[in-house]
Amino acid sequence: MSQEFETSLGEHELADLAVGCTVLAGGGGGDPRVGLMMAINAVQHHGPVSVIQLDDVADSDTVFAAGMVGAPTVMMEKIANGGEGRVIQDTLQARLGTRISAMMPMEMGGINGVLPVAWAVNAGLPLVDGDLMGRAFPELQMCTPHLHDIPSRPSVLVDERSQAITFDTAGNVWLERLMRNTVSVLGGCASAGLYPMSGAVARGPVIRGTVSTAVRIGRAIRTAGASPFEALDSEAEVYPLITGKVIDVERHTAGGFVRGSAVIEGTETDSGRLVRVEFQNENLVALEDGEPIATVPDIITLLDRHTAHGIVTEHIRYGQRVVLSVFRGPTQWRSEAGLRVVGPRAFGYDVEFKPVEERHAPTH
Amino acid sequence: MSQEFETSLGEHELADLAVGCTVLAGGGGGDPRVGLMMAINAVQHHGPVSVIQLDDVADSDTVFAAGMVGAPTVMMEKIANGGEGRVIQDTLQARLGTRISAMMPMEMGGINGVLPVAWAVNAGLPLVDGDLMGRAFPELQMCTPHLHDIPSRPSVLVDERSQAITFDTAGNVWLERLMRNTVSVLGGCASAGLYPMSGAVARGPVIRGTVSTAVRIGRAIRTAGASPFEALDSEAEVYPLITGKVIDVERHTAGGFVRGSAVIEGTETDSGRLVRVEFQNENLVALEDGEPIATVPDIITLLDRHTAHGIVTEHIRYGQRVVLSVFRGPTQWRSEAGLRVVGPRAFGYDVEFKPVEERHAPTH
């Protein structure tokens, strides 16, 4: 696997990023399409976005993370206006009395891996090559600063009417509760600025290089011609669980989340097998014969059998041909403290987390 | 009626204020008892609160209004900590870059006529003799600045955990919607700072002298011995509608409001009559034989037959002996623009507003 990092993202890189984000999202984060269109529009007007490494951020500089919060089904329709990043930046700067020097995606998945590029470009800020989840997750305390006891304070919520709500809460779980509810009142989704941190404070939690990783994975898949899965294998450690057809999907949008399940019937060498995936925006567990065969925080994604693009949970449909694939979850989340926040028990599943590499073999 | 204004409020004046607030609240604003205890506690520690007239506020000074937002039934149990006024002041000063020189009650009714005294004392601010409703109303856009196209911006919500949420909304109706919902998440009530204004801007909307009016009415009733109604008559223009007994009351708390109705069966010279009162925190309409006999924005209050204290809607009980009384609503609300915001149609009643003095005779 190549080690190089992106230094700027133009239209081609953004298309790669979007595909990579569907793979890494674990089914969540929303369809990147609207975010990609906005990001392409922004770089067409203002030129490519500059990408910097976290180590390029000075100790005393301030950075923040951003993303849309709400139901992915709504994000596809109630579209951001592109200026929210700037409103967030101005609000944070006024509150903190410091200058914001860069921003990063809150999560590396779905629309939220791509849309922050539009915000960064429109605000004139560089994008930090990293994020706070290393994948996508449904709730706001499921960010690495929370593991380091760093509060998201203040947090800012902005909608497409440029209304702004600033939160100073007693911890990140209160923030999730309050912001989630406010998002409902605003119509189901809104744009959030979270976890403003100095460069010094950011060094611990930020998961580095994830923008570049997503671009690299997306580029491999997009340029692979007839063998996208081979290309994916060359860029990532993939654990395929089952190749099959979606024969059932149940999904409902409530309280800001898309919840439900899908059943995959095995085909080819997996004939006779049935695997069920349960999700809350993101895929949480994969079950076979009633037993978990993969869980969060490992990244569980339905990949399209032909293109190897990831399928977001709101797009799962009867008849889709998929390869249910797992990637190792980010290291910070696999710790004991991390599992308390994003392990299966944190989502209500009474099962122990077992790393995917202890259950299955990778493709290579 | 005497014309003098209060210049400070100590324990006696606060007890008067609380009673006056029950009369002027129109059934809403919540039971002042908890607010009175907090205000008394505050003045015991810090001395009487200084009361100033609006004209004592310089054009360039900044003032704000404050009150608890939520269901009165919850306000009696989920008690403020007394320091919310200071948190609001600090948040507004930081946001606006100006010095706050005074604060006032948001409404002159119920707990919200008294509790702001505790906040003012604990924050070291004088209290302006005035408010933004001239009575109590259930929703946040039902404040006089809204009639003058003055947005409540920013607005601040603080809970007893000292969490603070700041709102910059696209207008006051959006603020009501967002703040009301947030109050639900916080447990059903919280403390709000609203309509920060310069002295110059405040001159139009603020309803002047209402703190003094409430104190004067309360003092008259409390010192009246056996004839509180005569004492009330000497201080206010009262329109009694019916003397009777509460024979039915239906009430439920939902969405931050206490909604319901009560039926009064006439006694003494009113025998044979039945009047129904419908409320949403505040009493909205009084009906007899299916026809309205009084409506918002006139102040409709159930007064205790023996003490002349006002009864808040959450304390209406079967068997209570009451005099259903009406006072002229504040002039600003009786205008065409005012009626669009707080007239009967604004609450869903398809009736024209008719001033109480055109339907009934006052007691003197």
Say if residue B292 is in the same domain as residue B156. Answer: no
pLDDT for the residue A75: 84
Q: Is B188 left (phi over 0), alpha (psi -120 to 50) or beta?
A: left
Say if residue A143 is in the same domain as residue A56. Answer: yes
Is the Cβ pair A163, B170 closer than 8 Å? Answer: yes
Higher pLDDT, B144 or A70: B144
Query: Closest residue of B to A90, CA-based?
Result: B95
Distance from CA of B168 to the nearest CA of A (A): 5
Higher pLDDT, B339 or A31: B339
Type of residue numbered A22: T
Is the Cβ pair B182, A178 closer than 8 Å? Answer: yes
Interface size A-B, in CB pairs within 8 Å, comes to: 49
Distance from CA of A334 to the nearest CA of B (A): 31
Query: Looking at the predicted structure, is the pLDDT value of residue B102 above 50?
Result: yes
Nearest to A153 by CA among A136, A172, A139, A130: A172
ipTM: 0.88
For strand A100-105 and strand A62-70, is the pairing parallel, antiparallel, or unpaired?
Answer: parallel
A269-299 pLDDT tens trace:
999 999 999 999 899 999 999 999 999 999 9
Lowest mean pLDDT across A253-267, B148-162, B210-224:
A253-267
Q: What whole-number distance in Å separates Cα of residue A262 and Cα of residue A242?
A: 13
Higher pLDDT, B287 or B2: B287
Q: How many domains does chain A have?
A: 2
Beta strand segments in B76-188, E: 100-105, 127-128, 130-131, 155-158, 164-168
Mean pLDDT of A213-232: 96
Distance from CA of B40 to the nearest CA of A (A): 29
CB crowding B130-162: b at 16 or more within 10 Å, else e: bbbbbbbbbbbbbbbbbbeebbbbbbbbbbbee
The pLDDT-based confidence of B3 (bands split at 50, 70, 90) is: low
Is the Cβ pair A170, B177 closer than 8 Å? Answer: no
Say if residue A199 is in the same domain as residue A339. Answer: no
Q: What whole-number distance in Å separates Cα of residue A115 and Cα of residue A80?
A: 9
Residue A92 lies in a domain: yes
As a whole number, the mean pLDDT across chain A is: 95
Residues of A with Cβ-Cβ distance to B169 under 8 angstroms: 163, 165
Query: Looking at the predicted structure, is the pLDDT value of residue B290 above 80?
Result: yes
Tell which of B175, B194, B210 closes a domain: B210
Residue A135 lies in a domain: yes
Say if residue A265 is in the same domain as residue A301. Answer: yes
Beta bridge partners of A242: A324
A135-167 pLDDT tens trace:
999 999 999 999 999 999 999 999 999 999 999
- Which of helix, strand or coil describes residue B293? strand
As a whole number, the mean pLDDT across chain B is: 95
The pLDDT-based confidence of B75 (bands split at 50, 70, 90) is: confident
Query: Using CB atoms, which residue from A161, A165, A169 is nearest to B163?
Result: A169
Residue B91: partners with Cβ closer than 8 Å, 6 or more residues away: B154, B156, B158, B164, B166, B193
Q: What whole-number distance in Å separates Cα of residue B114 and Cα of residue B35?
A: 5
Query: Closest residue of A to B87, CA-based?
Result: A168
Residue A219 lies in a domain: no
Is the Cβ pair A165, B178 closer than 8 Å? Answer: yes
Say if residue A189 is in the same domain as residue A76. Answer: yes
- Which of helix, strand or coil describes residue A214? helix
Say if residue B184 is in the same domain as residue B286. Answer: no
pLDDT for the residue A3: 61
Q: How many percent of chain B have pLDDT more than 90?
A: 90
Say if residue B152 is in the same domain as residue B296. Answer: no
| Residue A33 · residue A73 · CB < 8 Å | no
What's the per-residue H, E or C state across B214-244? Answer: HHHHHHHHHCCCCCHHHHHHHHCCCEEEEEE
Tell which of B210, B245, B265 closes a domain: B210
Mean pLDDT of A76-90: 92
The pLDDT-based confidence of A256 (bands split at 50, 70, 90) is: low
- What does each C-alpha distance from A300 to A146, B62, B190 come to in angstroms? 23, 55, 41
Is the Cβ pair B181, A186 closer than 8 Å? Answer: no
Residue B3 lies in a domain: no
pLDDT for the residue B1: 46
Query: Looking at the predicted structure, is the pLDDT value of residue A71 above 90?
Result: no
Distance from CA of A163 to the nearest CA of B (A): 5
Say if residue A253 is in the same domain as residue A321. Answer: yes
Is the Cβ pair A164, B168 closer than 8 Å? Answer: yes
Is the Cβ pair A185, B178 closer than 8 Å? Answer: yes
Query: What is the extent of the structural domain holding B89?
Result: 8-210
Mean pLDDT of A78-99: 93
Is the Cβ pair A184, B185 closer than 8 Å? Answer: no
Residues of A with Cβ-Cβ distance to B174 under 8 angstroms: 163
The pLDDT-based confidence of B255 (bands split at 50, 70, 90) is: low
Residue B230 lies in a domain: no
Indicate the DSSP class of residue B138: S
B198-220 pLDDT tens trace:
999 999 999 999 999 999 999 99
Distance from CA of B130 to the nearest CA of A (A): 29
| Residue B247 · residue B264 · CB < 8 Å | yes
Residue B217 lies in a domain: no
Say if residue A246 is in the same domain as residue A203. Answer: no
pLDDT for the residue B256: 66
Distance from CA of B88 to the nearest CA of A (A): 12
pLDDT for the residue B314: 86
Say if residue A150 is in the same domain as residue A287. Answer: no
Is the Cβ pair A169, B178 closer than 8 Å? Answer: no
Q: What is the pTM of this model?
A: 0.91
Query: Using CB atoms, which residue from A95, A163, A178 is nearest to B165?
Result: A178
| Residue A193 · residue A155 · CB < 8 Å | yes
Which of A84, A93, A182 should be substituted to probe chain B, the one whose Cβ sees the most B Cβ atoms within 10 Å? A182
The domain that contains A314 carries what CATH number?
Answer: 2.40.390.10
Chain B residues bordering chain A (beta-carbon distance below 8 Å) = 94-95, 161-170, 174, 177-178, 181-182, 184-186
Distance from CA of B154 to the nearest CA of A (A): 9
Q: Which long-range contacts (CB under 8 A, 24 or more apart) does B346-352 make?
A: B346/B296, B347/B280, B347/B284, B347/B285, B347/B296, B349/B284, B349/B285, B349/B292, B349/B295, B351/B285, B351/B292, B351/B295
pLDDT for the residue A4: 84
Residue B229 lies in a domain: no
Tokens for B95? Answer: 């946001």
Say if residue A36 is in the same domain as residue A168. Answer: yes
The domain that contains A170 carries what CATH number?
Answer: 3.40.1610.10
Residue B292: partners with Cβ closer than 8 Å, 6 or more residues away: B285, B286, B344, B349, B351, B354
Which of A87, A168, A169 should be substituted to probe chain B, the one whose Cβ sees the most B Cβ atoms within 10 Å? A168
Residues of B with Cβ-Cβ distance to A161 under 8 angstroms: 170
Distance from CA of B156 to the nearest CA of A (A): 9
Residue A224 lies in a domain: no
Query: Looking at the predicted structure, is the pLDDT value of residue A1 above 50?
Result: no
CB atoms near residue A149 (< 10 Å): 10
Say if residue A183 is in the same domain as residue A310. Answer: no
Is the Cβ pair A178, B186 closer than 8 Å? Answer: yes
Query: Using CB atoms, which residue from A94, A161, A177 is nearest to B170?
Result: A161
